[in-house]
Amino acid sequence: MLVDGQGGDIGYQYLSNIFYYSEVQKKLASDIIHQLQDMGYNKVATQIKPVTTFWKAEDYHQKYYNKNVPYDTIIVMNYKPPFRITNKILELAQDVGHELGLMSGAKLDLPPIILRKNNQIKTIQSSLAIEDNLLKAHKLLMQGLIQDNGIWRSSGVGIFKGNKIAHIAPPANRVLLLMNKLFDFINKNNDIAWLIKACIFHYELEFIHPFSDGNGRIGRHEYYNILAKCDSAGESTLFIEFMAAQILEALKLYNSTTVSQIKTPFSRLEFSKTKLNQNWFSRKDYKAIHKEISTSTASRDLNFGIQQGILIYKGIKNQTYYKFS
C-alpha cells in the first residue's frame, strides 16, 4: 500500500516506523503487523527498518502528543460506543427479565458474596456511575499483585492469546479521556436498558484496558475471541449478545439449583404468579410448583388467595380453577 504521510501531515517523514536492533526484533515486529492485518487492520503503513544514526529532536518536538490537542481527540470528545440492538439482544433481554422475575418472586435468601480477601466492593450500579469506585475496586482486588493498582495505566498494553495479538488497547494518554466519556455515556443515556449498558461497559472496559493488569481477570478463550471479532467489526454488538447470553445462563443455573426459602402462603402465591402469569390453573398445577407442600396446604393457600383478593376462581370442588387478579 502506498502511503505518503499520516493524518493531515503529508510526507514520508511523518510515517510511523519500527527500528530494530536484531533479526529477532525484526521478525517480532513483522509478525505483529501480519497479525493486525489478519484481524482486519489491512492498512498498517508502519515501516520496519534497521537502527541507524539517531538524532534527538528539539524540545518542542518532545511529548508532542501530550502538549497539543490531537486531531482525533475532536472525534473522541463526541464519543458514543458503537453498537446495534439486534433481535437476539431483545430476546435475551426479555429472557433475563423473566429469570430475574423468578428470582424476585421466589424471595430467595441470597448467599453473601465473599470476594478475595473479603473485600467489600460496591454494587455494579454504583461502580458504573462513579469513576472513583472503579479505581477503589481495582486497588482492593489487585493489592499486593501489582505496583500501580488503583490508578490508570501509564504505558501501552496489548492482549495476547498465546503468541498472537487478540487486542491492542488505545494509547495510555487517551485512557482518562475515554473512561470519562464512557462514564458519561453510562450516566446520561437513560433510554438504554441497564442490561445493555452493563454489557457495553464490560466491552469498553476491555477495549480501553485502563489498567496495567487486572482488566479482564475473568476473561477466557471464547471471551477474547469475541473481543477480537468486535475489534474487526468496529462495534460491540457481538459482545453484548455474548455477555447477555452468559448472564442468562448464570441466572437459569442459579434459579434451577437454589432451594427456595418460601414458607408463607403469600410468598408461595407471589412465586406462583411468576410461573403461571395470567393463566387459569388448578390446585394440582399449584402443587406442582410447590412440591414440598401437602395437598391440604395447597388448598389453604388458594383459599387465602381468594380471601385476600389475590385470586379469582371458577368451578367447584375438583373442577375449581384459579387465576391471579
pLDDT band at residue 146, thresholds of 50, 70 and 90?
confident
C-alpha cell at 325: 387478579
Q: What's the rounded mean pLDDT across residues 302-323?
A: 92
- Least confident window among 5-14, 16-25, 124-133: 124-133
Does position 182 have pLDDT exceeding 70, yes or no? yes
Average pLDDT over residues 35-47: 72
- Nearest-angstrom CA–CA distance, 221 and 157: 19
Q: Provide the pLDDT confidence category of residue 16 given band limits of 50, 70 and 90.
A: confident
The phi-psi region of residue 151 (left if phi > 0; otherwise alpha if psi is between -120 and 50; otherwise beta) is: beta
Confidence at 310, pLDDT banded by 50, 70, 90: very high
CATH number at residue 119: 1.10.3290.10
Residue predicted with more confidence, 81 or 219: 81
Rounded distance between C-alpha atoms, residue 313 and residue 306, angstroms = 8
Which of the residue ranges 7-16, 24-33, 91-100, 225-234 would you say has the lowest mean pLDDT?
A: 7-16
Same domain assignment for residues 223 and 320: no
Q: Are residues 208 and 314 in the same domain?
A: no
258-287 pLDDT, tens digit each: 655 567 888 888 888 888 888 899 999 998
204: pLDDT confidence band, cut at 50, 70 and 90?
confident
**pLDDT at position 119, please?**
36
Residue 68 lies in a domain: no
Does residue 246 surpass a pLDDT of 90?
no
**Distance (Å, rounded) from C-alpha 324 to C-alpha 312?**
6
Count of the separate structural domains present in the chain? 3
Highest mean pLDDT among 21-25, 89-93, 102-106, 302-306: 302-306
What confidence score (pLDDT) does residue 4 get?
A: 65
Segments forming the whole domain that contains residue 94: 76-257
Whether the pLDDT of residue 131 is over 80: the answer is: no
Give yes or no: residues 208 and 300 share one domain. Answer: no
Cell numbers describing residue 315: 368451578
Average pLDDT, the chain: 76
Domain boundary, last residue among 240, 257, 274 = 257
> In terms of domains, do 109 and 202 share one?
yes
Q: Is residue 67 part of a domain?
A: no
Same domain? 97 vs 168:
yes
CATH number of the CATH domain containing 295? 1.10.10.10
Q: What is the mean pLDDT of residues 111-118?
A: 38
Confidence of residue 321 (pLDDT cuts 50, 70, 90): very high
pLDDT at 115: 36
Mean pLDDT of 243-271: 79
The whole-model pTM stands at 0.53
How many C-beta atoms lie closer than 10 Å to residue 177's C-beta?
15
User: Cβ(150)–Cβ(135) under 8 Å?
Assistant: yes
Q: How does residue 50 score in pLDDT terms, banded at 50, 70 and 90?
A: very high
How far is residue 113's CA from residue 120's CA, in Å, rounded to a whole number? 9
Counting beta carbons within 10 angstroms of the beta carbon of residue 110, is it exposed (0 to 12), middle (13 to 18) or buried (19 or more)?
exposed
Q: How confident is the model at residue 322 (pLDDT cuts 50, 70, 90)?
A: very high
64 in any annotated domain: no
pLDDT category at 78 given cuts 50, 70, 90 is very low
User: Of the ranges 135-139, 217-221, 244-248, 319-323, which one carries the lowest mean pLDDT score?
Assistant: 217-221
Of residues 146 and 123, more confidence is placed in 146
The answer to whether residues 230 and 153 belong to one domain is yes
My answer on whether 107 and 244 are in the same domain is yes
Residue among 11, 116, 88, 95 nearest 242 (CA): 88
Overall average pLDDT of the 300-320 stretch: 91
